[in-house]
Structure 1
Amino acid sequence: MSLPPILSNLRIPVIASPMFIVSNPDLVIAQCKAGIVGSFPALNAREKDGEPVQLEAWLTRITEELDRHNQANPDNPAAPFAVNQIVHRSNVRLERDIEICVKHKVPLWITSLGARPEVNEAAHSVGGVVMHDIINNTFAKKAIEKGADGLIAVAAGAGGHAGMQSPFALIQEIRTWFDGPIALSGSIATGRAVLAAQAMGADLGYIGSPFIATEEANAVPEYKDMIVNSGAEDIVYSSLFTGVHGNYLKPSIRNAGLDPDDLEHADASSMNFSQGASKPKAWSAIWGAGQGIGAIHKVQPAAAYIDQLAREYADAKAVLAA
């Protein structure tokens, strides 16, 4: 099966993953202009009572700026953007945010924490493509049965809420029955890793943590520096902070006065998106990251990092072809 048109003409086959707090219009616009899909969680666009709806403002700005770029660069158009909808039952904004995304005809929808047919139908009503993130083959089948167009396979080592399965096991099981678009998430931080994901059977790489260490990212300098100065051994897998297992930076856990090697457990019933994020304020300085950050050695503009990915991807293809 060929990729949907919006995913078939990217500079390199990469979707930038939507990250809580970190992903913002500046980062999304930079990612799209550099040739990869940029994305953000709808819940990142927050307003206080009585203020204009931020999600409306963000989508208007992103759409208008990318349109201007395309008019000025007809031979080098921007990649499409995506909005992540958390469909967990505690997300009280979901219905409103879906209506806004339909109004703005968002081209790519990324759904998480539950597969909902009505969300897929809303996306399809305006020609949108839905990619649903999953951590195992069972959830993958449910997502497609409920109308998702493609899958984001979240394997071991991914930042944020991550699965435990090897990417080899996860992709090869899904490919026994599904020939639609798959993006692979889990420690992908170089162009060579993107090519490896394709060789494994995925269509695209799904990259998040490296973009924390970019100038456009909405992250404090200490967070960006911690990404640069850490590696795979500095990542801990825990359910304590949201109720669902995810990967976090050990130094940030120590800074919060906790022992990263002796953390308590929490269950999924503690997850609550009613305030716009899954982590209670007490854990706001516990910073997520995936195991691929050892390849990140400096803070730089997003476009510079994407240029690096493109060079590495082309070089890896040339080496294999030789």
Structure 2
Amino acid sequence: MPLAPLHHDPLSRFRARLSLPLIAAPMFLVSGVELVVAACRNGVIGAFPTVNCRTPEQLDAWLGEIETRLHRREDAEGKPAAPVCPNLIVHRSNTRLDNDLAVLLRYKPELVITSVGSPAPVLGPLHDAGALVFADVASIRHAERALEAGADGLVLLSAGAGGQTGWLNPFAFVRAVRAFFDGPLVLAGGISDGHALRAAQALSCDLAYMGTRFIATRESMADERYKAMLVQSSADDILLTSAFTGLQTNMLKPSIVAAGLDPDNLPAHGAIEIGRDIDVENRQKRWRDIWSAGHATSGVTDVLPVDELIARTLAEYRTSQSRDFRA
């Protein structure tokens, strides 16, 4: 595929509203109203999977509450919040996709991320509503197909990202995609602090995901045991396995052990049927005690308010920027 020239900066519409080039990653059963609002009011893009809401009606209520609370913050402080970024699961198993899309179109989001499939079915309506559409991809071929479909940007799921992930080294992945795409890139996988965020920019990424660190925040919807386990674990406690979903997924080994399973002797590919549909209530029960996380687990040392986590990340980012690298 030839290099697609970038004639303008698609992110210019909201870049000035960001304190960091960062997205609080959309995480199943973790990202909710409190986490999104806290991220956005601190200048970080707040993302959440629409399927975290039990129904399209609840999705409408969430978006309405987020919009109201961020508007109040803007009125009080005079600074616009960072964008809210819904995440649509576009896989055919998501029977709610059309209904969730209809809700999003009413709210006209600035940015939407699509996952688990081609963004083609939702691109037209979202573009008509003024949204940028980024597709998350796990391989070079996935990236090419998403761009052929018309995606505005890509989220590169590299080795080390929590949950269902890619397998490519982030350095190689970013540079390979940059050979044919000059538009917005988001790096996902292993972003644990401001230094890693700065490194993603040095690779030529426009933004990065931070997911695992946001699990261990007071505003996340994660079980308190989940947060505590992250604090107690390191990257050595992350297991890449396809036993639970049929797809390569980074999981917390201690949670697998606590569920009565042996991480070293899991059943064959996809044999443990957890999360194979988009029925939120059933998936919530199935995933209640087995948790995902990424290699950034080593960077989780305490449970913080989102305000403090972002302030710490910003300080690290500025320190990294100010360093004088000498040969």
Q: Which amino acid aligns with 1:42?
A: T
In the TM superposition, residue 315 of structure 1 has moved relative to its aligned partner by: 0.4
Asked if residue 19 in structure 1 is aligned to residue 27 in structure 2, the reply is yes
Give yes or no for contact 2:19–2:44 (8 Å, CA) kept in 1: yes
In the TM superposition, residue 283 of structure 1 has moved relative to its aligned partner by: 4.1
Between the aligned partners of 2:252 and 2:261, the Cα distance in structure 1 is 12
Between the aligned partners of 1:251 and 1:226, the Cα distance in structure 2 is 8
Given the two structures, how large is their TM-score scaled by the length of structure 2? 0.93
SS at match of 2:182: coil
Residues 270-299 of structure 1: per-residue CA shift (max 9 Å, x gap):
663341389584443110000111111110
Which runs of no fewer than 5 residues in structure 1 stay unpaired?
A: none
In the TM superposition, residue 96 of structure 1 has moved relative to its aligned partner by: 0.2
Instruction: State the match for 1:5 in structure 2.
Output: 12
Instruction: State the match for 2:67 in structure 1.
Output: 63
Aligned pairs for 1:208-247 (under 5 A) are 208-247=211-250
Give yes or no for contact 1:115–1:142 (8 Å, CA) kept in 2: yes
Give yes or no for contact 1:238–1:265 (8 Å, CA) kept in 2: no
The runs of at least 4 aligned residues of structure 1 exceeding 4 Å deviation read: 267-271, 277-280
Between the aligned partners of 1:286 and 1:151, the Cα distance in structure 2 is 29
Between the aligned partners of 1:151 and 1:278, the Cα distance in structure 2 is 30
SS at match of 1:299: coil
Q: Which amino acid aligns with 2:105?
A: V
Asked if residue 92 in structure 1 is aligned to residue 92 in structure 2, the reply is no
Instruction: State the match for 1:294 in structure 2.
Output: 298
Q: 2:131 aligns with which of 113, 128, 140?
A: 128
SS at match of 1:30: helix
Instruction: State the match for 1:155 in structure 2.
Output: 158
SS at match of 1:206: strand
Are residues 67 and 226 of structure 1, via their aligned partners in 2, closer, same or farther at CA, if it must alter by over 3 Å? same
Residues 117-171 of structure 1: per-residue CA shift (max 9 Å, x gap):
2301121111101111001110001001111100000100100111111001100
Aligned pairs for 1:1-322 (under 5 A) are 1=6, 2-9=9-16, 10-47=18-55, 53-74=57-78, 76-267=79-270, 272-276=276-280, 279=283, 281-320=285-324
Q: How many residues align?
A: 317
Q: Which amino acid aligns with 1:243?
A: G
SS at match of 1:152: strand
Are residues 16 and 268 of structure 1, via their aligned partners in 2, closer, same or farther at CA, if it must alter by over 3 Å? farther
Give yes or no for contact 2:113–2:133 (8 Å, CA) kept in 1: yes
Residues 242-290 of structure 1: per-residue CA shift (max 9 Å, x gap):
1211101000000011111121233499663341389584443110000
Give yes or no for contact 2:88–2:113 (8 Å, CA) kept in 1: yes
In the TM superposition, residue 72 of structure 1 has moved relative to its aligned partner by: 1.8
Identity %: 42
In the TM superposition, residue 17 of structure 1 has moved relative to its aligned partner by: 0.6
Q: Which amino acid aligns with 1:154?
A: L
Q: Which amino acid aligns with 1:70?
A: E
Give yes or no for contact 2:158–2:173 (8 Å, CA) kept in 1: yes
Are residues 169 and 214 of structure 1, via their aligned partners in 2, closer, same or farther at CA, if it must alter by over 3 Å? same
In the TM superposition, residue 238 of structure 1 has moved relative to its aligned partner by: 0.8
Choose 91-100 or 283-292, whichever is displaced more. Answer: 283-292
CA RMSD of aligned residues (A): 1.9
In the TM superposition, residue 201 of structure 1 has moved relative to its aligned partner by: 1.8
Q: Which amino acid aligns with 1:303?
A: D
Give yes or no for contact 2:25–2:209 (8 Å, CA) kept in 1: yes
In the TM superposition, residue 241 of structure 1 has moved relative to its aligned partner by: 1.3
Give yes or no for contact 1:91–1:276 (8 Å, CA) kept in 2: no
Given the two structures, how large is their TM-score scaled by the length of structure 1? 0.94
Give yes or no for contact 1:130–1:150 (8 Å, CA) kept in 2: yes
SS at match of 2:186: strand
Give yes or no for contact 2:243–2:271 (8 Å, CA) kept in 1: no
Are residues 277 and 15 of structure 1, via their aligned partners in 2, closer, same or farther at CA, if it must alter by over 3 Å? farther
Between the aligned partners of 2:80 and 2:33, the Cα distance in structure 1 is 18
Give yes or no for contact 2:51–2:278 (8 Å, CA) kept in 1: no
Q: Which amino acid aligns with 1:5?
A: S
Choose 281-290 or 199-208, whichever is displaced more. Answer: 281-290
